[in-house]
Amino acid sequence: MSTLTDRYVFAALRSIPEAQRGDIERELRGSITDDVEARVEGGQPPAEAEAEVLTELGDPARLAARYTGRPLYLIGPDLFLDWWRLLKTLLLIVVPLAFVGSILVRMAIDPGEPAGAFGAAIGTAVSALVHLGFWVTLTFGIIQYNGTRRKDLGLGAWTPAMLPALPRKAQVSLGDTIATVVLIAFFIGLLLWQRIGSLMYLDGDPVLVLQEALWSFWLPYVIALLVIEAGFAVVLYLAGRWTYLFAAVNTVLALLFMVPVLWLLATDQVFDWAFLANVDWGADASGWIAGITAAAVLVIGLWDIGDGFLKAWKASRPVPAQQALR
Q: Fill in the amino acid letter for 248.
A: A
Q: Is 282 left (phi over 0), alpha (psi -120 to 50) or beta?
A: left
Within its chain, how far is the Cα of 40 from the centroid? 43
Within its chain, how far is the Cα of 291 from the centroid? 33
Contact 252, 301 (CB under 8 A): no
Contact 202, 273 (CB under 8 A): no
Element (H, E) at 143: helix 114-145
In the chain, where do the E strands start and end? Answer: 200-202, 205-207
Residue 137 to residue 128: CA distance in whole angstroms? 14
What is the structure's pLDDT at 170?
A: 47
Q: Fill in the amino acid letter for 220.
A: P
Model confidence over 137-194: pLDDT tens digits?
A: 888 777 766 666 666 666 666 677 767 666 554 467 777 888 888 888 878 877 777 7
The HSE-up count of residue 250 (CA atoms within 13 Å, CB side) is 23
DSSP H stretches of helix in 14-79:
18-41, 46-57, 60-68
What is the structure's pLDDT at 278?
A: 63
What is the structure's pLDDT at 245?
A: 92
Collapsing DSSP to helix, strand or coil, 320 comes out as: coil
Model confidence over 285-301: pLDDT tens digits?
A: 778 888 898 999 999 99
**List of residues 6+ apart from 151 with CB closer than 8 A:** 157
What is the structure's pLDDT at 66?
A: 80
DSSP letter at 168?
B
Contact 184, 230 (CB under 8 A): yes
What are the angstrom distances between the C-alpha of 289 and each of 208, 230, 238, 266, 268?
A: 15, 28, 39, 12, 11
Regions of the chain short of the pLDDT cut 70: 1-2, 69-78, 104, 107-118, 144-158, 162, 164-171, 195-207, 275-283, 317-326
